[in-house]
Each structure stands twice: as structure tokens, then as C-alpha cells.
Amino acid sequence: MAKLPFDNDIKTMRFLTGEMTQGDLGDRVGVTRQTIAAIEQGKYSPSLEVAFRIARVFGKPLEDVFHWVDE
């Protein structure tokens, strides 16, 4: 599987937000804990809707959560 062209800071943001679990974030976003884990690890590319929902949970713009990786 090819590496995704972007990275994210979800794990750090979860920790800084009262040590939110993957399950808690998944519940708030409407996806499973496994989906959040896969997104964090760069194994799964979230839909645009899910990406925006994740950013909204943290009160951050999308670009603060997801970062394009220049090659």
C-alpha cells in the first residue's frame, strides 16, 4: 500500500484535549474507533466530510489537523 500524501496530528490533539480516546473521537465524528486508528496511522484516507468533522471536534481549521507532505 502506498503512503498517503498527507499526515495528521490527530493523536497529539486527542492527548491535548483531555486525553480523548479514539473511541470518544469516533463517537463524536460518527465513525468507529478502528477508523480513527487507521486515519491516525496513515492507513486510511478519510472522506472530506469526516476530515472536517474531526477538525471541528478540536475547534481547528482543517489545515491544522491534516498536513500535505511535500515530496
Q: What is the 3-state secondary structure (H, E, C) of 40-62?
A: HCCCCCCCHHHHHHHHHHHCCCH
CA within 13 Å, CB half, 41: 10
Q: What is the model's pTM?
A: 0.89
Q: How confident is the model at residue 6 (pLDDT cuts 50, 70, 90)?
A: confident
List of domains in the chain: 6-68 (1.10.260.40)
Segment 39-44 shows an average pLDDT of 93
Using the structure block, give the residue that is written with the C-alpha cell 500524501.
5
Say how far apart CA 55 and CA 9 lie, in whole Å.
10
Report the mean per-residue pLDDT for the chain. 94
